[in-house]
Structure 1
Amino acid sequence: MTMKRIVIFTGGELFPEFLEALHKDDMIIAADRGALFLIEHGITPDIAVGDFDSITEEEQQLVREKSGRMIVVDPVLKDWTDTEMAFETALDHEPTHILMLGATGTRMDHTLANVHIMVRAMQRHISCSLQDKNNLMMLTTSEAVVEDHGYEYVSLLPLTPEVTGINLKGFQYPLQEATLRMGQSLGISNKLLGKSGTVSIDSGLLLIIQSKD
């Protein structure tokens, strides 16, 4: 049976207000320290996965006791990050949407890897978003509806050398049949005019970031 939505809590910056994003029917997958965070806030992860090298043995035992299922891998021999393992586990359940929380932080390498990992969901025709306290990110290769979630800005960044045929509707600064190339800042700091706007493109891979200071 296809899950409607899977929420991944991973080991970056985590805040109690992230718990407000959870819905009753969500499946919850936690990566490494994300599992401990959930348990400390009274939430049971359906699956906890990772090498768990960022928590103590006592905390690992707590995660083992309080999680629906725990998957532990060797920290040296593994080829994937904990987040990628959680993401692959989510893909195996074929949800309609994956939301990643705690996937950004002080490690820029991990943050960028987690942005790029959303491509894997698109290849499986699964929508995906990444959210933290100041940003909400998603990808499109065709058309996306951007809804007002309380962020001030909407920025567009190409994740391929160029993105062509960009059309914006419902934005303060409209674009028509525009092209964005890597290194250009034309798509930075736009704003919605109302409750939603539409971004459509002809080719390429476009990162849409809603943000606030």
Structure 2
Amino acid sequence: MKLAIVAGGPDVLVPDLHAPEYSDYEWIGADHGTIVLLRQQIKPMIAFGDFDSLSDEEREEVNGQRLLLRSYSPEKDKTDLELALDWALSRKPEHCLIFGATGGRMDHTLASVQLLMRAVSQSVDVAIVDKKNKITLLTPGTYPIKSNSSYRYLSFLALTEKVMGLTLSGLKYPLQDAVLPLGSSRCISNEAEKDSFTVSFSKGCLLMMQCRD
């Protein structure tokens, strides 16, 4: 099973959800992301949130679709996206994508990135995607990755105190057994030089960001 969540970030950063690479995903709405899905002619399997960001007209649109809704009070301990992700992870999907999680309020964006830690702890492959970026959280291991010409730039950031033994091969700026500390910009704006590249490290959590420009 592959699941995709659409959250309430700016619509302009949400790609065409009918693109071939998303054809085998089932969809979940998180608050305003439910409207984004409906306006792309996609009916989500379930939607979560307090729906406080919807206008009266949009609420009528959602209610008219007879969707499976999990409604919550605006005064709650989790964001709408976290509620949706918790449910998605409970389904043990093969992959999970998150759209609509970037480009709006910075607090929500940073919280969304940190939610990737939740997925990693449950051994589920999750990525945050918008029109310009794909963000993936990696745990220790070796990752052979096929280069994608749509994403020219590659950046890596530590999400833990340190990432140990970081080795990058097949990239313009290779590394060998390096230490990447939290807060370092050393691995910003790399580029693939071959059809594939390899990322490996022995300790920590590493954000890999594939960027269009």
Separation (CA, whole Å) in 1 of partners of 2:179 and 2:164: 4
The answer to whether 1:11 aligns with 2:36 is no
Q: Which amino acid aligns with 1:39?
A: L
Separation (CA, whole Å) in 1 of partners of 2:16 and 2:31: 17
Q: Percent identity?
A: 41
The offset of 1:148, in angstroms, is 2.9
1:169-189 CA deviation, whole Å, 9 max, x = no partner? 211111110110122221111
Pair 133,25 (structure 1): closer, same or farther in 2 beyond 3 Å: closer
Q: Secondary structure at the match of 1:187?
A: coil
Unaligned runs of 5+ in 1: none
Separation (CA, whole Å) in 2 of partners of 1:115 and 1:39: 25
Cα pair 1:172 1:192 within 8 Å, conserved: yes
Pair 13,194 (structure 1): closer, same or farther in 2 beyond 3 Å: farther
Separation (CA, whole Å) in 2 of partners of 1:67 and 1:185: 47
Separation (CA, whole Å) in 1 of partners of 2:108 and 2:192: 30
Which residue in the other structure is 2:174 paired with? 174
Unaligned runs of 5+ in 2: none
Which residue in the other structure is 1:36 paired with? 35
Which residue in the other structure is 1:100 paired with? 98
Q: Which amino acid aligns with 1:89?
A: W
The residue correspondences of 1:44-63 to structure 2 (distance < 5 A) are 44-63=43-62
Q: Secondary structure at the match of 1:18?
A: coil
The offset of 1:49, in angstroms, is 0.7
Q: Secondary structure at the match of 1:136?
A: strand
Separation (CA, whole Å) in 1 of partners of 2:27 and 2:157: 29
The answer to whether 1:190 aligns with 2:185 is no
Q: Secondary structure at the match of 1:138?
A: strand
Separation (CA, whole Å) in 2 of partners of 1:68 and 1:195: 43
Separation (CA, whole Å) in 2 of partners of 1:35 and 1:88: 17
Structure 1 length as normaliser, TM-score? 0.92
Superposed CA RMSD? 1.6
Q: Which amino acid aligns with 1:199?
A: V
Separation (CA, whole Å) in 2 of partners of 1:23 and 1:88: 21
Q: Which amino acid aligns with 2:136?
A: M
Structure 2 length as normaliser, TM-score? 0.92
Q: Secondary structure at the match of 1:62?
A: helix
Cα pair 2:164 2:180 within 8 Å, conserved: yes
Which range moves more in the overlay, 65-74 or 151-160?
65-74
Cα pair 1:14 1:101 within 8 Å, conserved: no
Cα pair 2:158 2:204 within 8 Å, conserved: yes
Cα pair 2:15 2:130 within 8 Å, conserved: no
Separation (CA, whole Å) in 1 of partners of 2:72 and 2:131: 30
Q: Secondary structure at the match of 2:42?
A: coil
Q: Secondary structure at the match of 1:7?
A: strand
Separation (CA, whole Å) in 2 of partners of 1:67 and 1:151: 38
Cα pair 1:44 1:67 within 8 Å, conserved: no
Q: Secondary structure at the match of 2:15?
A: helix
Cα pair 1:10 1:33 within 8 Å, conserved: yes
Separation (CA, whole Å) in 2 of partners of 1:46 and 1:102: 17
Cα pair 2:30 2:47 within 8 Å, conserved: yes
The offset of 1:67, in angstroms, is 5.4
